[in-house]
Amino acid sequence: MSADFVASEMFPAELSTPAAARRFVVESLRAAGVPVADALPVVVSELVTNSVLHAASKGDSVIVGRGSQLFLKDRPDTLRVFLYAPREQKVRRLLARGKSEKEAHERVDTVDRERAGFIEKYFHVEWPDRAVYHLMINTAIGDETVVQTIVAFLKEFDSKQPQGKTNSA
């Protein structure tokens, strides 16, 4: 890729935007003669970074995954929460949603492996990087208790912020 290669496009905040952005990136790379596979890690990193930072800049928001805890770790107005569950609890939830026993076990293994791989590939840290979180909750305590815990913690955390403004990741 030449040093002077630049492709720029503004996309509206709509449901169709991610697909349009992907098409634009692929077409731009091909037009510049860059193999898509060679540029993919950088492109993914840039798109995810821009998306997370844009969402955070809009004010109160909840951003789930995608490395948001790492993109936003230096922002004092960001509460970072990690939810986890024992493996068997994850399997039970998937079984309750209609997955077979085999599918549930495979899905749990695949999701955890992919999450760890994503964080290690793009951020070069182990997942979960416990030091970046303010709060870690085992969801085995029940959904209602998890929500109450986060809300109570957020109120306390928010009261300690200079402007009382927090973005959640």
Residues 80-92: pLDDT tens digits? 999 999 999 999 9
Q: Is residue 148 part of a domain?
A: yes
pLDDT greater than 70 at residue 154: yes
Share above pLDDT 90 across residues of the chain, in percent, rounded to a whole number: 37
CATH code for the domain in which residue 157 is found: 3.40.50.300
pTM above 0.75, yes or no: no
Q: Which domain holds residue 138?
A: 68-168
In a domain, 40, yes or no: no
On whether residue 106 sits in a domain, the answer given is yes
| Residue 158 belongs to a domain | yes
| Largest Cα span, the chain | 54
Nearest one of 31, 54, 28 to 42, comparing CA atoms = 28
Confirm whether 48 is domain-assigned.
no
Q: pLDDT tens digits for 109-131?
A: 999 899 899 888 888 888 888 99
Residue 31 lies in a domain: no
